[in-house]
Structure 1
Amino acid sequence: MSETRTAIRALLVDDQTLVRHGIRSLLALSDEVQVVAEAEDGAEALALLEEPDSADRPEVVLLDLRMPGMGGIATLEAMRARGLDIPVLVLTTFDDAELVLGALQAGARGYMLKDVTLEQLVGGIRTVAAGGTLLQPALTDRLLRASSQAGGLVEGPHDPAAPVEALTARETDVLRLAAGGYSNKEIAAMLHLAEGTVKNHVSTVLWKLGARDRTQAVLRGLYLGLLSP
């Protein structure tokens, strides 16, 4: 009884039936996440999310980006327009760097590769369900390379004309590690700082970059070239 009551309810959105079945079967091995609904495109997902509240209402959306009809980014934009404030975790393939940027700008709380382990997937779902953001290192590295090749001009969520107060060397270190997907606790250990100090640095970075969360801060850092090698 307690397992059913505490499991995170997820909506799985992917146009490939075999992929949906594979992810559902994988999550069925864990008692922490329950797939309560599936959709093969954004339009079907929106219809499910707008159904009257019920005990099976999804708490997290697992969203593919490349889908015929209404794709992932259009789905995120429609969710925002309709006031559907349900955290979204994007599940994407390795070569979707440009789409991932668009998805994050459209409101996704994080992204993961489709070849993640069960433990990683459950952890990611748990993070976004709790209101956190998830920046998986493999894809973040790809975004950093894309930013470097573009001269650091990857579009960010902040008004490009708005002034930005310069980050200190320590704040830049914290932002780089946040972009690598590390938690405050892990960053504290790597920089030999107290976790509270790291939290303060993160708050300052968000304020200086005009970002609402770590994901936006990383995007803004990419735009400004702060994270380029």
Structure 2
Amino acid sequence: MFDYKGYGHFLIEGAQMTIIVAVLSMALTTAMGLIGALGKLSRHGWARRLADLYTTIIRGVPELVLLLLIYYGGTVLLQHIATLFGREEPIDINAFVAGVLVIGFIYGAYATETFRGAFQAVPKGQIEAAMACGMNQKQIFWRIRLPQVWRFAIPGLGNVWLVLLKATSLMSVIGVEELTRKADLAKAPTREPFTFFISAAFIYLVFTAISDYGRHWAEKRANVGVRRA
């Protein structure tokens, strides 16, 4: 499978790297989304303003610009700081780490809105009932709100995952050898760009199809026992 003049393994290796990057980025996205949502729903004005600033800036700047800014600009900034402390050795930012952090940070802004809506979807009557039973805010969060938030957030998080999965291709511009980068490396010696890029596109399509099926399964599973009005 995927022989292609001895370069078929490039696609398999690239696909594996794409999944690793996507999973790690999604973990960071989820964490940032929860933090951002809690900030937007906070009683503290500074937390709401900070969360609003985060989502406004991140959603307004292209992903590629942020990736290049952090990867190349971050290297220059760290080198400048190191020079101030007397270190002259060159500093390089790991492309894999930079890519995961940037993608997770970017899509955390979108996940923030997903989680904010999910928190607000939890019936207020349940919160009031929990308070009447003597639960404090911490207990209400862990026992009432957070377990239900996942059920409401699954559709939105599923969409974020699908977009994030395809956005991993942006990491090819900084040298991370994910699927798109591997297809580009293979097309040069074989002179068959169409073959490798159409194969890469097919692999992305398979990933998204499986992911979409998983999202539907997770939604159905999360709604077991939920009575519809």
Which TM-score applies when normalising by structure 1?
Answer: 0.24
Q: Which has the higher contact order (CA 8 A, sep 6+)?
A: 2
* Structure with the largest fraction of strand: 1
Say which one has the larger Rg: 2
Which TM-score applies when normalising by structure 2?
Answer: 0.24
